[in-house]
Structure 1
Amino acid sequence: MSVSDTAALCQEQANSIARSELDLLRQRNAELEAKLEIDRKKIDKLEAELEAEREEKRISASEEIDKVKKKNADLFENFDLKRKVANFRKKQELKNTTPDGQMPAQERYVGIWGMCKLIIVISKKD
């Protein structure tokens, strides 16, 4: 065997080894791409689930906000009505005063008690 034959044989073996390594790398690359595709699908699925959960929480939070707003409006209306009742009672007491500006003793007691009672009721609700 001549030197050129030996060199050609070595070159052929090197090419064969390189082809084998190249085939192994291609196979590994295909495996990794398949795994990557599976992982992408998992990520897409998780993102869809997360978005659905976020939407559900947004709806729930919106409903809670609406409930709190309604309760706040009801409380304000209740407070406003109590204020109107107190003003009305005060006006009635002023109408019931005697010409000298004093309420009859019994009415004055009831009027003051009524105002105290109203203040106590308002304080207890708050």
Structure 2
Amino acid sequence: MNYSDFPGYLKLADAYVSASVYESTSISLLEAMSCGLAPVVSDLESNLEWIRDGRNGLVFERRNRAQMAEKIVYALRHPQKMRAFGRINRRLIREKAEYGREMRKVERSYEALVAKYKGKRGSKSPGKREGGRRGK
């Protein structure tokens, strides 16, 4: 499968489920949200940065299998609500996590730093002491 085909397959899903007990913001979560899916995720802090239970997805307590199952069953029984969550998520990703826009922000920050320090002489490189010897 080509990666460019992936969003089409992802859009065929009814929901995105992640039972992670430890993870930073998951790229797969953001991909699912950008494809209009409603996530069913554990209550990791990184998930809670993006998902509000009952507003744009469903959240269950980490390691609580029964609660996870309840949320999945709820998702399957309420497809209209899940589609509504998915629409919210597409909008949220466009507003907060559009890759190209975010990378342009990073690029502008680097350009500003370079411009600020360009041509300044006498600044020492990190890790160097007088005489140009490192750490001695």
Task: Mark yes or no: TM-score above 0.5.
Answer: no
**Higher share of residues assigned strand:** 2
Larger radius of gyration: 1
